[in-house]
Structures are given as C-alpha cells and as structure tokens.
Chain A
Amino acid sequence: MLVLLLLHLFAGLLAPALVRWWGRQAFLALALVPAAGFGWVVTRLGPVLAGEEQRETVPWIPVLDLAVALRLDALALAFAALVTGVGALVLVYCARYFSPGEEGTGRFAGCLTAFAGSMLGLVLADDMLLLYVFWELTTVFSFLLIGGSGRRLAARRAASQALILTTAGGLAMLVGLILIGQASGSYLLSEVVADPGSGTAMTVGAALVLAGAVTKSALVPFHFWLPAAMEAPTPVSAYLHAAAMVKAGVYLVARLAPGLADVPGWRPVVLGLGVATMLVGGYRALRQKDLKLLLAFGTVSQLGFLVTLVGAGSAELAAAGLTMTLAHGLFKSTLFLTVGVVDHATGTRDLRRLSGLGRRLPVLAVIGTAAAASMAGLPPLLGFVGKEAAFTALLDGGLPDRTVAVVVLVGLVAGSVLTAAYTARFLWGAFARKPGIPDTAVEHPPEALFLAAPAVLALTGLVLGPASPLLDPLVAAYAETLPLYAPEAEHLALWHGWQPALALSALTVLGGAALFAVRGPVQRLQGRVAVGASADEGYWNVVQGVDRLSVLVTGTTQRGSLPAYLGTILVVVLALPGTLLLTRAPWPGEWRAWDTPVQAVVGVVVVTAAALTLRIRQRLSAVLVVGVTGYGIAVVFALQGAPDLALTQFLVETLTLVVFVLVLRKLPKDISERHKPRERAVRGVIAVSVGAFMGAVGAVALAVRTATPVSADWPGPAYAFGGGKNIVNVTLVDIRAWDTIGEVSLLVVAATGVASLVFLRGRTGGVDRVTRADLARSSEGSRRAPRDRWLAATATLDPARRSVVLEVITRLLFHTIMVFSLYLLFSGHNEPGGGFAGGLVAGLALVLRYLAGGRYELGEAAPVAPGLLLGSGLLFAGVTGVAGLLLGGGVLQTAIVETTLPVLGSVKLVTSLFFDCGVYLIVVGLVLDVLRSLGAELDRQEDQEDPIELSPGEVVLR
C-alpha cells in the first residue's frame, strides 16, 4: 500500500517534466499509476471478502502516536476502488481535454496525480492522525486545482474559500480526533471503532469530527463552496468534486458510524443535516442554467443523501449507503465528463443555448442518458438498486426510532423527487432540441479517447445494476460491523419483487417527471422566493469581519511609538513583579542607615544631579550633570571597597563625556522636543513607581540572603591558580575570563558599528597622515624642518582652533600617560588596574592628542587602522583561550611560569597576561575607532563643506 502512495507521490513530482516532454499524452502515462492502484485493489477483493485485512505499519512519530498505519478492509476497499478507478479514467480524459501545449498543464497534471495519491491514502489510513494528514493534503491540492493559473478573480475566490472553509472544518476535526483518541486510548481507527471511549470528551470529539466531515462534504450550511468550486476545469469537478474529495466526509462518517453512531448528538446532526442538504441541493439544482452548476448542486444534494444513509448507524442503511456511494461516484463523474465534452465540442454549457445535441453527438447522448438514469434511480441501474435498498431499509425499521425513520424516509423521497426532476432537466437541457433555438454547432467533435472515460464509467454503472448481487458480499462485509434493526438483512438485488419500496421509487420518478413538466411555473416561483446565496455572503462577511477586527486590534496594540512600547514594558514590570513585591515577598526585618556617612553625602549629590537632568534642556550641561552622577557613583564604588571599579568608572565616565561632546558639537544647543503635560505626568508616575520598586526590591532580595557567596572561596585559589593578588583582576582575566572574552568581542562589534554608521560603506577609510604639502601650506616661513617637530600636525589646524595650553599639556603628558597605561596593564594582576583601565588610559592619551592636534595629529599618534588593533586584540584573547585547549588543559586555562632573567631577576609570568593584553588592545582600538569616526571623520565632513550645511543653532566646541 505504502508503495502505491509513494508511486503517486513520485508521479506527481515527475508530472511537470513528463508534460514538458510528451505534451498532453503524458496524462496517459500518469493514468497508469492510479490504474495500477485499481488493479491491486481488485486483486485484494478476494482476501478481504474472505475476512482477512491487510495492514502495513511504518512508525513515524511514536511520541505522538502518529504512525503510517494503513489498513485495507471492505469499506476502504470499496472507496479505494472508486478513487483509483475514477482517477485513472479522469486522467485519460485529461489527455484530450487539454489542448496541446496549453499553459499550466504540467502543474495541473502534478497536482491531480498527487491528489489521487492523497485521496487513496485517506481511505487507506488506519491512524486517525494520518487520516487527517491526507485529509488536509486533499484540501491543499484542491486549492491549487481550483485556482488554476490564478488569473481569474472568481477562481481565486473560490479556491481560497474552499481552502479556508475545509481547513477550518479540518482543524476542528483534528481537535476532535485528539479528544477521541485520548478518550478511547488509541489513535487507530480500527481500535477506536472497536471500543470507543465515553464521556464528554467523546461527545465533543464526535461533534468536532462531524464538523470536519460536514465542511468537507459540503453539507448545509457549508454547501456553498462546492458549486463555487466549479470554476475548476471539468476533470477536477468530475474527480474531486464528484467522485473523490467530497466523498472524504462520507467515508469518515461511514468509518466512524459503527463506533460513534450512539454517541449523543451524532444521529440528530447527521440525519438532520443530511436530509436538509439533500432538499436544498435538489431545490437549487432545479433552476441552474449552467449544466455544470446543475450537476454541482445535484452533487450537494446527493452528498446529503449519502451522509444520511451511512451515518444512520444501522446495517441495512449502511449497506444502501455504500452502494449508493459507488453508484454516485460512477454516474456523477460520468455526467461531469459528459458536460466537459459538450463544453469542449460546442463552447458552451448554457442549457438555454444548447439544442439538438442528442442528434449530433449520439454516443455522448447515450452515455449521458445511461448515467442520468442511474442518478434518477431508474432500473436496471445501480442507482436504482441503492435507492431501493435505502427505502426498504427505512420502511422496515432501519433506525432505532421508528418515527425518525418515517421522517427521514419522507425527506429522502422528497429529495429523490427533486433528483429525478433535475435529472430530467439535465438531459433535456443538454441533448433535447429546444423550440426556437437553432441547433448548436459542434466545433470540435470529440475523439474516441475523449469519450472513453465517460463510456466506461456509464457502462460500469449499467452492468453493476443487474450484477449488484456480486457487490453484496463486499457491502455486507462492511454492513455487518453495524447493528441490524430490521427483522432480517436485505440483500442487494435488482428485483426484490412487488414491495412498498418499489412503489416509492415509482413515486419519485413520476413526481420528478411532473415537476419537470411544470418547470416554467416552478422556476417563476423559485425566482420570487429566491433569498440569495446567504451562506456564501455570510462567509465573505465573516472574512471581512476578521479583517476589520484585525485592523482594529493591530491599530490599538501596535502604536508605532517607542515611548508607548517602553511604557507598556515598564507597566508590566510594575504590574507583575511590582504586585508580587507588595503582596508576596517578605520585607527586610531590619535596616542599616549606611555603610559610612560619606555614602549618604555622595548619595545626596548623585540623586540631586540625577533630578537636575530632568529639567535641563541644554544638551551639553545635561551631559555634564549626568557625568556628575557617574563620578559620584565612582566615589561610592571606592567607598564600597572596589578600587578597580572606581578607577574604571572614572575613566569610562570621562571617555563617555568626550565622545558625547564629539557628537553633540554637531547638534543644536537645546533639545527642542517638548512633551504635553499629560505625557509628562504619566511618565512621572511610571518613573517614580519604577524607581521605588527597584530601590525596594534590591533591599528585599538582599534581606533574605543566608547562603555564603561562592566568592568566599576565591582568595586562596586566586593566588594559587590565578597567580594574582588583585582578586577582581584575576576574576576578570581568569576565573570569569569567559565573560571577559565575550565582553571584548562585544566591544569589537561596537567599534565596528560606530565606524559603519559614519563610514557607511566599509569599516574605515585610510589613516589620515600629514603630507608635506599640508605642512608646506600651513607652515611656510617657519625655518624648522616640518617633520622633526612633535605635534607637528597641529600646524594643519586653522589657528583659531589651536589652543596653546592644550598643546603644552599634551606635550607634557602624552608619554607619561602612555607609560602609566602600560604600568596599569602589567601591574593590574596584583594591584588596581588591568587591561581595561590601561586601555582606557591609553585611549584618553589619544583623545588628548586629537583634541590638541586635530585629525592629522590623531593619524600621527596612531598610524594604524583600528580594525587591526581590534582584530589582533580579539585574536590574542581568543588564542589564549584555544591555547589552553591545545596544551591539553581546559579552555582559557592559565599557566604560571617563573624564571630568572639576567637583567630583571626573578620574573613571574602568568599567561593570563596575554589575555589582558588582548583586552588592552581592544579597548585602545575601540577608543581609536570612536575618535577616528566620530572625531576625525566628522571634522573631515565639516572641512569639505559636507552636503548637510551647518544649521544656525549648531555649536562648534573647541
């Protein structure tokens, strides 16, 4: 079985290629695939009737009870035969339906073949979830087939409607299946049906599953998608929308009825919707002028009929239902194909334009009539047998409740009358010669191959009527799984002798004939009471409703304003952790005022400064005030006993100030942006509450601490393994070096980012060096040779910008600072300092050079691309990491080498120093990059009258 499915899959994938090679003849080749399936099914008939089932199981996802479990029993076999047989014939038909080299044929062929495969899988699946898989696959392929090339709006709408609607049902069904599966402890259809669970879950599950079946089989109130789907080419209508896909619902109902028919609510839904659908469909069919639509509504009606029969949950009705299903599959696809031929031959399907085709296409007429007779339930065709069986079954019981049986019977008879009527209308419309309408010209007389498929199908229907006893064992094999309500089981046969059912059949035929005879008045009547395709409009209104809702919701939640988003986030912080803090968390029992009174003093300064920033609208002063808080924090760090922190904080704060100034010199002095009082009030409230929360939560958390910190064990190892006295530094470069390596890589990226935002195209431009030309231009008259003079590049500055003081200071300090930075780097392991501090100090030195000497001076000071510094720094750090691994130690493992060198005496080398050097390089690279881009590059842009002119409010800071 699996092989067959895979065969379909590959055929489907291959189809477009085949069509490209062989044109439409490829369909003949493709037809072989379902044909093979049919052949196999036929061979299995004997064994299955002998009572043996064929199973194949391939595990797929055990955890989810999802397995490729296939099973062939009587029911599956009946449907499989239908699916494969009709499928093969339809494919043959396609070989003539399409004109040679028609656009999109390949796609069509692929989808159709793949569809056939999924349909086969659907009826073979034993795992409910697997069934759902194929169920959805058929939906998707029908979507693609209905949409076709997608050029036509109507087709697109029909396609998406069918997709959404059937998927909605399908999803409901999925949940239903899960409920059923968990309620009855198995996902295997065979086991569920054998011993279904009970309880609410089961009831709900059954209802949901029915929802799926109802949408798929186009029962009221979801019947409208099927006629709309007639936008699809005729083979699709014949196969998907008559024989196969819409039968999926019927199949599912038939499959589950043995187990679930007695679940509360099952019978009312199935019988009610079934009968209603049969009547509505028949009624609508009566006034269609498009033959295809007429058939479509006929299909809707018949589906109602079938679901009623197979869903009733009684042996005799089930038997009738299965027979009827086969019959319907045969005659309805025949009729569709016939219409296709008519269409193809004459170029219209409008029964008001067709006339006299009976004479011109006699063969077709015979085929069509035979199929139609079966539809109307005339002996000796299979349709008659099925209908007869149904009537008989209902007459002598057939349902647990007699009255229900009677009601249903009445409904079915009425429906059958309508069926007979629209059958007559169809035949007359397609083939009769109508007064006053010229005989329709036959432009393309159909070839034999084109007629073959419908002919075979019609013939089968014809033969199976008399031969119905042969079907009986198959049908019975399924029916036996259901309880029998009638005194004894009827057997399928053409002739049961004179009995009431026969009278009913006669009644339906006569009634139909009468209805057709008075069609004029009937149609007028229908025209008057036409209510519009309300269900269809309902669908579109729902879709639009969803649209409106989505726009509404999105409009409210997606404000598009950053402050709004931040506000939401902070409110959530207050709402969740804030509430928990107030309600659940234990508050500290005791408080201390401070560690040292000085803390309080600094605290006052810091908080005041912070408060000031809120009022200040001048950028620069705001920045400076924020700087004050920063320095204040540095003092707090120092008081807390963290010299390294204090040092780093101090340096970082200073650098931040510098960078700020570099950027802000381009911006207006004042922040013009003003906010409405209300906004400010809201902000204030949020700000104060968040502040209060954060302040409190810290204390609360600290108060519950009982455990000793892990760092309590550090001091010993720090010196023993880390080889350093400064525990913080050892932590950074050794104990928690992994954090540091991440952090420096972050710095590398930050630097890259800064550069990328200024030099948009690449990392950085070349290094600006002083050329002799510059110096010559700037310092002619000076007797000294230009290059020997240190800080020469200041000469390139416009004198107004030069600051002698600064130059002097720089001269005095630069080298000292650089040396100091190196000292910090190397001594860091044992005293405050380390790579960060050192790098930052070096950075400050560069800042000094730049401020004093401008961008050329910077080039002179650091004649190297920052990218190289960053890259090599990262390489250093990384390599020390890997080195540990390569030397068989752990990653970033430190080694301590103690040697005695001639000059320096005893030297203790801790390998983590290399790591720290990497950090140093990176920090320097970062600062240099910032200066290069936010400093030098901005100067350059300014010097060369940057496209963006200086606005009046702009300040140049020097």
Chain B
Amino acid sequence: MIEVLAPLPVLLPLLGAAGALLVARHPTFQRTLSTVVLTAVLAVSVVLLLVADAEGAGAVSVGGWPVPLGVVLVVDRLSALMLVVASTVALGVLVFAVGQGAADGSEETPLSIFHPTFLVLVAGVSNAFLAGDLFNLYVGFEILLMASYVLLTLGGTAARIRGGITYIIVSLTSSLLFLAAIGLVYAATGTVNMAQLAVRLGELPEGTQVLLQSMLLVAFGIKAAVFPLSAWLPDSYPTAPAPVTAVFAGLLTKVGVYALIRTQTLLFPGGALDDVLLWAALATMVVGILGAVAQSDLRRMLSFTLVSHIGYMVFGIALGTAAGLAGAIFYVAHHIAIQTTLFLVAGLVERQGGTTAVDRLGGLARRSPLLAVLFFVPAMNLAGIPPLSGFIGKLGLLEAGVAHGGAAAYTLVAGGVVTSLLTLLAVGRVWTRAFWRSPNQAPVEDTAAAAAAAATERRRPADEGVPSDDAASDDAPPRTALQDAWRRHTAVATATEAQMPPAAGAVRALRPLPRTMVGATAALMALTVALTGLAGPLYGLADRAATDLFDRTPYVSSVFGEEAP
C-alpha cells in the first residue's frame, strides 16, 4: 500500500507541473489540471495518514534498491499528518488564487507561471516531509525554495524584488549551511540515510555529535525563522501576492519546524541543546509578538505573529518530553491552517479596503459583515481564545511546560501566556481599527501608518485624508457621555448611515469580493473551526506521533525491517 502511494504526493504534482507547462497556452485546462492534481494529492495523503496510523510507519526504497543503498521515503504518523495538512491548505490556496486570477486577469499572478511553479512547490514540500534521507531532505528544501523564489517575485514589482532578494539570499545561506552540514555528517558517518544515521551518529564521540547537531539546528532555525535567525521573514513575506504569502506563511516555515523535530528526535535524541532551544523559543515568542504590536500593516503584523508563534512550536520541541512534542505537532497543524486563512483574509481585506495599512482601513465590519466574520474567528483562534484550536494547542504546550517543571520551563510558560495576550492585543487592534472604527477616524498624525499605506497600496493611488468636518459628522458622538444611550443607538446611527455612503465612496471605491476567493477562505476558516471538534482524535494522533518519535524504533525498523543495524 504505502510502497505505491508514498511517492505520489511528489510525483503527481511534478507530472501536473509538466502538463501545465505543455499546455501553457490554455489557462482553463491548467486550472482544472492543477486543481485535480492537488485534490488527488490530498486524497493520497489522507489514505497514507490512515494507513500510517493504523499499521505504523512504512518505508519505500526508491528504485527498489536494497536499503540503505538507495533513497528511502518514510511515511510515519508525523510526516503523513504534515502531508494531509499541507495538501489541504495548498488546495485551498490554489482555489483562492484561481479565483483571484479569474478576477484580475493575469496582472497580479501570471497563471502560466503560477500553476507549474505552485505545483512544484507542493511537490517540494511533500518531498521534504517524506524524505528518509538527509540529502533528499535537502533536495526537497531546494525544490520548494526555488519555487518560492519564483512565486515571491511574481510580476517583478520593485517591492517584490526587494523583499525577494532578502528572502532568497537568506534562504541560500541556510541551504549552504545545510549542505555543508550534510557533508560533515557524511564525513563522520559515511551515510545520509536517516534511519542509519539514527544508529551511527550515536556511535560518534559526543562532542562531534553536538557539533553536527548545532550545525543542523542553525540551518533549520533559519528556515523555521527562530530568533535571532528570523528577521528576514517579515521583510519578505508581506510583499508577495496574497495567495503566495498565505501558502508561504502557512507551509514553508513549518517545513523547517518539521526538520527541527526530526533532528531533535530521530538523529540527536540526547536533547543536548534543549536549553539553547528553550531560550531561543522564548526570545522568538516575545520579540516576534512585540514586533507584531509595533506594526501598522495587517500583513506585516501577521508575519510577526507567525514568527512569534514559531516560538510556541520550538518551545514544545525543546521541552524534550513526549507531551511537549505532541503539543508542538498539534500546534504546527493548527498554525498552518490558521496562518494561511488569515493571510487569505488579508488578501480579501486588501480587495475590500484597497490597502492592508490598518490605519487607512475602517468600517469594514459594517461594510462587509461576512468579511468581519472571516477575520474575527480566525483572529480569535490565533490569539488562542477557546474553544478554538489555537487555545487547544496552547493548552497542550502549557500543560507540558508545567509538567516539565523547572525554572526555564516556567519562564517559558509565562512567556507563552504573555505572548498569547499580546497576540490578542495585536489582532484586537486590527479589529477595532480596521473593522469598527469609521475610516476617517484614522489618526492623521501617524505618519508611519500613512506611509506604510502608501507603500502597501498597489491597486489604486493612495487616497487623501478625508476632510475633518466629515470626520466630526461621521463620528458624531453626543456632546457628553451622559447623553442617552438610546438616541445614540438610533438617531446618530441613522444619521451616520445617512452620510456614510458618500463618505465611504470618497474614501475608496468598493470592490465586490469574488465568490471563489471568499469561498476558499471560508472553507479554510470552517476547517480551522472544525479543528476544535476534531481536536480529540487529532491530538490523540499528535500524541501517538510524538511517542513514536521518542522511541525511535518505529522509524528505524520501518526502514530496516525488524533487525535494525
């Protein structure tokens, strides 16, 4: 079963990409093709997950070469779970992108480039998850990175080139470090097969082990955006087209986290560097979320929360307990879904409001209640408000932290709580300013926001500040707070409604939200909400996966059969 299915999540997208290239001249065909392919990938991944959960890990030796000569693909609970989540959001994003392309023509995202590249990206992600071979993991990373370079610089606008350069050069550096680390590992052990490494690395002198481990940690730390290796992320992600940013934010850093998990559990189970990771996690959480609080642009704010919440996952990994790891795994799954959704929503906000600069937006809750719901629920989820999945992940990590005990762990717990609160503060602000506050209430003196708006405004020229008398009349508050709530709620409301439309018109033209885009976003939001109900089985799965990772025999014996070398 696994033998046949395991390669498909990589092969199908590649064939799809080939097809998309051959029919580059027929967009409709391209669309259907990639949609079908990704749906198939999703189906395959689900089956793989079910099989892996039922029968335990399984491995394929590509080309039928006796292990460990060739490259092996390993499907265990963790990788299968990652595959499922990844292919789900990939599909959602694809639909969104198709919707956007249909709406904008190929201005924002030239489809003939987008489709093949996106498919290869998915192939790369799947390959990274399936790789049972360190060098193949590198190849997987390179594929998805190369694809991401292209997607990030789509259309080649100045902002994207700038952001793209930062992203590309940093990623290249991390890849070089990774490749060098592989060289070192091979030099020391004479193999790149991870199952075999799990055995051979243990035989090395301890100092060398830690050295190799630290090399890999740094390399993956960059990809996963762990502070202080994280500064590149908020500069590069927000510039890309909405669907691209969404899939980046959701998936790419998580591949790094996945690699971290593998390194820490399979290759270097000693937990030699757990303390380092703990403090890195704390710094990532706090610095990241402070960054989010400081931002005045929705996309950048989200990018910073992304960094900050990577800290949660690293926290779980660094605890070095099965409970912590389970929390981390669940959080990864949750975070992939939620970040993707939120960035897609940001895309919708940009269409609706013409910008993602929070201080330029306003009144969205009244103008598009649907959009308000689409934002509010995931935002609360991100902030870890129960009963949504964000809370469950956080709860798991906190429980693990408390159970672990010790000064460091308690500090991390405190840090995690503070981070969660500040996240709420950050998203709450977006809500109060962009969705509640009437547009013209945006503070004029906040040059940062205004400039940011100008920077992020791509679709239409920046709109001038609205005359202040308008502001007064729109906000028309009763002169003293002692005045009556009832009239405030009727008379003023209606009065405002009366001259809201012209005001809104003056601020920016309303763009209807294409149904496909809204549909895709809503579907993903529904998924994130559904995670609450599915939390029981899902967390159980995460827990089993974590247990497997800790006693490493399931992985090793899946590759070598019962008699592990």
Residue ranges of A at the interface with B (Cβ–Cβ < 8 Å): 59-64, 66, 97-99, 102-104, 107, 129, 132-133, 136-137, 140, 143, 147-154, 156, 159-160, 163-164, 167-168, 171-172, 174-175, 178-179, 182, 233-234, 289-290, 292, 340, 343-344, 346-350, 543, 546-547, 549-551, 553-554, 557-560, 562, 564-566, 568-570, 572-573, 576-577, 580-581, 583-586, 694, 697-698, 700-702, 704-710, 713-714, 717, 721, 734-739, 741-743, 745-746, 748-750, 752-753, 755-757, 760-763, 865, 867-868, 870-875, 877-879, 881-882, 884-885, 889-894
Chain A to chain B: the 9 pairs with minimum beta-carbon distance, closest first: A150-B436, A871-B21, A584-B207, A709-B190, A753-B150, A890-B64, A874-B18, A133-B386, A871-B22
Q: Residues 307-326 of chain B: 1 if any A CB is under 8 Å from the residue's CB, otherwise 0?
A: 00000000000000000001
Please tell me if the beta carbons of B402 and A182 are within 8 angstroms of each other in the complex: yes
A565 CB contact (under 8 Å) in B10, B63, B232, B489: B232
Bound CA span A451–B424, Å = 39
A891 CB contact (under 8 Å) in B63, B190, B196, B399: B63
Please tell me if the beta carbons of B536 and A868 are within 8 angstroms of each other in the complex: no
Please tell me if the beta carbons of A348 and B187 are within 8 angstroms of each other in the complex: no
- Sampled A-B contacts (17; CB under 8 Å): A64-B396, A102-B493, A137-B387, A172-B417, A178-B398, A348-B483, A549-B290, A565-B232, A566-B170, A572-B218, A586-B205, A701-B184, A742-B10, A745-B124, A756-B113, A762-B110, A890-B64
Please tell me if the beta carbons of B207 and A63 are within 8 angstroms of each other in the complex: no
Task: Tally chain B residues at the interface, Cβ within 8 Å.
Answer: 155
Q: Which residues of B contact A581 (CB under 8 A)?
A: 211
Distance in Å: Cβ of A490 to nearest Cβ of chain B: 40
Q: State whether the Cβ of B371 lies closer than 8 Å to any Cβ in chain A.
A: no
Please tell me if the beta carbons of A734 and B63 are within 8 angstroms of each other in the complex: yes
Q: Which residues of B contact A168 (CB under 8 A)?
A: 421
Please tell me if the beta carbons of B210 and A550 are within 8 angstroms of each other in the complex: no
Please tell me if the beta carbons of B136 and A562 are within 8 angstroms of each other in the complex: no
Please tell me if the beta carbons of A290 and B482 are within 8 angstroms of each other in the complex: yes
Please tell me if the beta carbons of B484 and A349 are within 8 angstroms of each other in the complex: yes
Q: Residues 186-229 of chain B: 1 if any A CB is under 8 Å from the residue's CB, otherwise 0?
A: 11111101001000100111111011101101100110000111
Distance in Å: Cβ of A631 to nearest Cβ of chain B: 21
Please tell me if the beta carbons of A885 and B4 are within 8 angstroms of each other in the complex: yes
Q: Which residues of A contact B497 (CB under 8 A)?
A: 103
What residue in chain B is nearest A875 (Cβ atoms)? B18
What residue in chain A is nearest B199 (Cβ atoms)? A707
Bound CA span A349–B485, Å = 9
Known A347-B484, A698-B183, A757-B153: A713·B69 in contact at CB below 8 Å:
yes
Please tell me if the beta carbons of B432 and A749 are within 8 angstroms of each other in the complex: no
Q: State whether the Cβ of B274 lies closer than 8 Å to any Cβ in chain A.
A: no
Please tell me if the beta carbons of B22 and A892 are within 8 angstroms of each other in the complex: no
Q: Residues 137-181 of chain B: 1 if any A CB is under 8 Å from the residue's CB, otherwise 0?
A: 001101100110110011110000000011001100110010010
Bound CA span A252–B387, Å = 19
Please tell me if the beta carbons of B64 and A580 are within 8 angstroms of each other in the complex: no
Q: State whether the Cβ of B15 lies closer than 8 Å to any Cβ in chain A.
A: yes
Bound CA span A580–B217, Å = 13
> Which of these binds chain A: B92-100, B115-123, B338-346, B516-524?
B115-123
Q: Which residues of A contact B188 (CB under 8 A)?
A: 701-702, 704-705
Q: Which residues of A contact B207 (CB under 8 A)?
A: 580, 583-586
Please tell me if the beta carbons of B113 and A717 are within 8 angstroms of each other in the complex: no
Q: State whether the Cβ of B395 lies closer than 8 Å to any Cβ in chain A.
A: yes
Q: Which residues of A contact B429 (CB under 8 A)?
A: 160
Please tell me if the beta carbons of B63 and A884 are within 8 angstroms of each other in the complex: yes
Bound CA span A871–B149, Å = 20
Bound CA span A174–B490, Å = 40
| Segment 364-388 of B: residues with Cβ below 8 Å from A | 365-366, 369, 380, 385-387
Please tell me if the beta carbons of B543 and A752 are within 8 angstroms of each other in the complex: no
Please tell me if the beta carbons of B187 and A178 are within 8 angstroms of each other in the complex: no
What residue in chain B is nearest A717 (Cβ atoms)? B69
Q: Which residues of B contact A178 (CB under 8 A)?
A: 395, 398-399, 402
Please tell me if the beta carbons of A344 and B143 are within 8 angstroms of each other in the complex: no
Q: Which residues of B contact A99 (CB under 8 A)?
A: 486, 490
Please tell me if the beta carbons of B441 and A153 are within 8 angstroms of each other in the complex: yes
What residue in chain A is nearest B386 (Cβ atoms)? A133
What residue in chain B is nearest A232 (Cβ atoms)? B485
Please tell me if the beta carbons of A97 and B486 are within 8 angstroms of each other in the complex: yes
What residue in chain B is nearest A151 (Cβ atoms)? B438
Q: Which residues of A contact B140 (CB under 8 A)?
A: 742
A61 CB contact (under 8 Å) in B3, B73, B496, B539: B539
Please tell me if the beta carbons of B494 and A147 are within 8 angstroms of each other in the complex: no
Distance in Å: Cβ of A413 to nearest Cβ of chain B: 32
Q: Which residues of A contact B413 (CB under 8 A)?
A: 175
Q: A133-B387, A140-B380, A872-B18 are in contact. List 8 more A-B contacts (CB 8 A).
A: A140-B385, A156-B437, A168-B421, A569-B173, A586-B208, A700-B211, A737-B62, A890-B3
Bound CA span A163–B154, Å = 40
Bound CA span A98–B214, Å = 64
Distance in Å: Cβ of B194 to nearest Cβ of chain A: 12
Distance in Å: Cβ of B183 to nearest Cβ of chain A: 7
Known A709-B190, A872-B22: A565·B170 in contact at CB below 8 Å:
yes
Bound CA span A702–B475, Å = 72
Please tell me if the beta carbons of B436 and A156 are within 8 angstroms of each other in the complex: yes
Please tell me if the beta carbons of A882 and B190 are within 8 angstroms of each other in the complex: no
Known A147-B436, A554-B291, A709-B190: A562·B486 in contact at CB below 8 Å:
no
Q: Residues 266-279 of chain B: 1 if any A CB is under 8 Å from the residue's CB, otherwise 0?
A: 00000000001000
Bound CA span A541–B159, Å = 36
Q: Which residues of A contact B153 (CB under 8 A)?
A: 753, 756-757
Q: Which residues of B contact A871 (CB under 8 A)?
A: 18-22, 24
B15 CB contact (under 8 Å) in A349, A586, A709, A879: A879
Please tell me if the beta carbons of A171 and B420 are within 8 angstroms of each other in the complex: yes
Q: Which residues of A contact B387 (CB under 8 A)?
A: 133, 137
Please tell me if the beta carbons of A706 and B143 are within 8 angstroms of each other in the complex: no
Please tell me if the beta carbons of B218 and A150 are within 8 angstroms of each other in the complex: no
Bound CA span A709–B187, Å = 9
Distance in Å: Cβ of A238 to nearest Cβ of chain B: 12
Q: State whether the Cβ of B68 lies closer than 8 Å to any Cβ in chain A.
A: yes
Q: Which residues of B contact A348 (CB under 8 A)?
A: 482-484
Known A136-B386, A584-B207: A757·B156 in contact at CB below 8 Å:
yes
Please tell me if the beta carbons of B294 and A164 are within 8 angstroms of each other in the complex: no
Q: Which residues of A contact B29 (CB under 8 A)?
A: none
Please tell me if the beta carbons of A745 and B165 are within 8 angstroms of each other in the complex: no
Distance in Å: Cβ of B258 to nearest Cβ of chain A: 17
Please tell me if the beta carbons of A749 and B170 are within 8 angstroms of each other in the complex: no
What residue in chain B is nearest A912 (Cβ atoms)? B63
What residue in chain B is nearest A201 (Cβ atoms)? B402
Bound CA span A305–B200, Å = 68
Distance in Å: Cβ of A614 to nearest Cβ of chain B: 18
Distance in Å: Cβ of B445 to nearest Cβ of chain A: 14
Distance in Å: Cβ of B236 to nearest Cβ of chain A: 10
Q: State whether the Cβ of B348 lies closer than 8 Å to any Cβ in chain A.
A: no
Please tell me if the beta carbons of B539 and A760 are within 8 angstroms of each other in the complex: no
Please tell me if the beta carbons of A553 and B113 are within 8 angstroms of each other in the complex: no
Please tell me if the beta carbons of B110 and A756 are within 8 angstroms of each other in the complex: yes
Q: Which residues of B contact A553 (CB under 8 A)?
A: 287, 290-291, 294
Q: State whether the Cβ of B501 lies closer than 8 Å to any Cβ in chain A.
A: no
